[in-house]
Structure 1
Amino acid sequence: MRTHTSAELTEWMAYERVTGIFGPERLDILHGIQTAALVNVQRTKGRKADPKDYIPVWDQGPRGPMSWQDMLAAAKAYTGRVGGTDHTTKGGARGDA
């Protein structure tokens, strides 16, 4: 982003509006469609799988968007579960909290 001008960014935003999203979000949607198709092929009866069922919602906990403090706590918990080491001091993201 440091090498792009505001005009270039505006052009990419306009292009995305015309062609649809691209990047990680688009890949999530494509994987959701593929997964729903595979599930529906294997399913005998019942509700059909919807691609939305398989598209992850990032940066949200069970109660909605997570604060940076909640994200840090989740990262620390995961680090501990996999045997990693916590190098933060005082619990802050930069050691200042």
Structure 2
Amino acid sequence: MTVRELLARTSSRELTEWMAYEKITGPLDTRLRTDIAAGIVAATVHNSQGPKKRAKVSDFIPTWFKRRKTPAEIWQDVLKANAALGGSIRERTQEGGS
């Protein structure tokens, strides 16, 4: 699917939600999550050499963010991305409708 087709099928709200989700969890594409597999192999090799300090898998996986953002900070990032993509915010009604 081309970028043009993706943008035609996806609302700016959905796209910014996916962007925020990926910022928190790391790449969505499983081919790019080889960092976890590499971390498992690296920790296994390291620990098999009999080091004094045993390594954890997380010792070999890149940290996506130094500090976790609060939900309010993440929401502000979503709003900025939404605005940058030309989106708008619709307020919900009291009945919960959009």
With the length of structure 1 as denominator, give the TM-score of the two structures.
Answer: 0.38
Q: RCO higher in 1 or 2 (8 Å CA, sep ≥ 6)? A: 2
Instruction: Choose between structure 1 and 2: higher strand proportion.
Output: 1
With the length of structure 2 as denominator, give the TM-score of the two structures.
Answer: 0.37
Instruction: Choose between structure 1 and 2: higher helix proportion.
Output: 2
